[in-house]
């Protein structure tokens, strides 16, 4: 080899290190490859490109021009719709997640009493979660909560004349929260599994000591279930931030009436495909990523104060 000896030695050492690394880990990476390639090409790559596009004025039809942080500056200083959509989304997250978890837990506790036909009930209660994000259910919701829908027919039997819930700015978002709570199936299944993990001798000991059922729930069930509650809370919070289909269908893509259902994702969609501002929409998307990450980090930080791990 004509190269200087020192460089050659360094090169050989590098090659040797790589060979050692490869012989130890190569097989692992080979097994990982199908997932890794998919992640790089389908997730990480597009995400990085969108980060670049968020610094441009890309309009889908022409090549993007670099605009620096102008999109972000506009979002934070001159975009009333950004604030409006943020308010709607936060309201939705703050009410739908706790309500949904409470409902899921209540049903799970009821089902955990060893009733007959549990698999059947479990399936029935899980069903809405499978259907919930579909277009058909959103359309059904429109029918239920419209002026002459089923809900108002029911209220009319009590002599109450209800408004068109789905298209009234004071109530429209609540119908979406109810729709979300109704899809309590997946947290319920996880709660049910968590309840099964709690040793029954704890309850036996407690009832021997004369603890009431509700006291048992607050002092045994809930504390031992906190890891499961934590998991469900994180997953559902992320899901709620990303909610899109129901608002899109129910408001016809407008976020109306009066922006009352303008979810953040819906606003992002409007900017990207309605008004062809893909660069601006990319910036909105990255802000959402940061917000979700911040919420998740906060949950993890707070968890050490209220989540009890058994071991």
Partner 1 sequence: MTTRIDRRGVLAGAAAFGSLGALGIPAAWAQDARIRLLWWGSQNRNERTAAVIDLFTGANPGVAVEGESAGWDAYWARLATQTAGGNAPDVMQMDYRYIFEYARRGVLLALDDAMADGALDLSGFSQEAIAGGQVDGKTYGVSLGANSSTMIVSQAAFEEAGVALPEKGITWDDFAARAAELTEKAGKRGFYGSADAGGLEPTFEGWLRQRGKALYDAESKLGFDAEDATAWFAMWQAMRESGACVPADLQALDQLNIETSMVSLGHAGVSFAHSNQIVGYQGMSQTPLVMVPYPIGGPDSKPGQYLKPSMFFSLSANSGVPAEAAGFVSFFVNDPAATEVLGVERGVPESAPVREALKASLDALGQAQIDYIESLGDLAGPLPPPPPAGAGEIQFALKRINEEVGFGTPPEAGAEALISEATAILERG
Residues that bind partner 1 (CB under 8 A): 59-62, 142, 146-148, 163-164, 166-169, 251-254, 256-259, 270, 273-276, 278
Q: What is the chain's length?
A: 311
Q: How far is the CB of 278 from partner 1 (least distance, A)?
A: 8
The two three-digit tokens of residue 89, written as one number? 């989304």
Residue 149 or 187 with smaller CB distance to partner 1: 149
Cα separation values, 251 from 32, 138, 171, 246, 261, Å: 43, 10, 13, 8, 7
Q: How far is the CB of 252 from partner 1 (least distance, A)?
A: 3
Residue 232 or 270 with smaller CB distance to partner 1: 270
Q: How far is the CB of 119 from partner 1 (least distance, A)?
A: 36
Q: How far is the CB of 99 from partner 1 (least distance, A)?
A: 24
Residue 57 or 99 with smaller CB distance to partner 1: 57
Residue 87 or 168 with smaller CB distance to partner 1: 168
Q: How far is the CB of 76 from partner 1 (least distance, A)?
A: 16
Cα separation values, 163 from 260, 282, 296, 303, Å: 16, 38, 38, 42
Alpha carbons 210 and 231: distance in angstroms, whole number = 32
Residue 100 or 277 with smaller CB distance to partner 1: 277
Please, what sign has the CA dihedral across residues 184, 186, 187, 188? positive
Alpha carbons 16 and 6: distance in angstroms, whole number = 15
* Sequence-ordered list of residues with C-beta below 8 angstroms from that of 67, at least 6 positions apart, any chain: 55, 56, 57, 279
Q: How far is the CB of 168 from partner 1 (least distance, A)?
A: 4
The two three-digit tokens of residue 100, written as one number? 């949904």
Angle formed at CA 118 by CA 115 and CA 119, multiple of 5 degrees: 170
Q: At what angle do helices 172-182 and 135-145 cross, to 10 degrees?
A: 130
Residue 108 or 166 with smaller CB distance to partner 1: 166
């Amino acid at each position: 080899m004509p190269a200087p000896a020192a460089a050659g030695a360094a090169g050989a050492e590098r090659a040797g290190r790589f060979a050692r690394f490869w012989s130890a880990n190569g097989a692992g990476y080979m097994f990982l490859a199908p997932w890794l390639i998919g992640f790089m090409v389908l997730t990480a790559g597009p995400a990085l490109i969108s980060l670049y596009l968020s610094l441009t004025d890309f309009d889908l039809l022409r090549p993007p021009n670099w605009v620096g942080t102008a999109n972000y500056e506009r979002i934070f200083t001159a975009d009333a719709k950004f604030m409006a959509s943020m308010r709607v989304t936060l309201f939705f997250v703050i009410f739908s997640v706790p309500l949904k978890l409470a409902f899921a837990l209540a049903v799970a506790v009821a089902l955990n009493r060893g009733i007959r036909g549990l698999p059947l009930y479990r399936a029935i209660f899980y069903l809405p979660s499978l259907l919930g994000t579909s277009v058909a259910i959103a359309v059904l919701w429109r029918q239920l909560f419209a002026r002459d829908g089923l809900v108002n027919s029911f209220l009319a039997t009590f002599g109450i004349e209800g408004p068109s819930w789905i298209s009234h700015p004071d109530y429209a978002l609540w119908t979406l929260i109810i729709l979300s709570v109704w899809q309590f199936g997946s947290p319920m299944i996880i709660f049910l599994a968590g309840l099964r993990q709690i040793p029954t001798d704890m309850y036996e000991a407690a009832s021997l000591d004369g603890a009431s059922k509700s006291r048992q729930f607050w002092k045994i069930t809930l504390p031992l279930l906190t890891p499961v509650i934590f998991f469900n809370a994180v997953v559902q919070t992320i899901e709620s931030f990303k909610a899109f289909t129901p608002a899109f269908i129910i408001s016809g893509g407008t976020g109306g009436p009066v922006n009352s259902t303008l979810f953040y994702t819906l606003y992002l969609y409007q900017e990207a495909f309605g008004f062809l501002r893909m660069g601006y929409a990319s910036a909105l998307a990255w802000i959402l990523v940061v917000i979700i990450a911040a919420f998740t980090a906060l949950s993890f930080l707070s968890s050490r104060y209220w989540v009890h791990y058994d071991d």
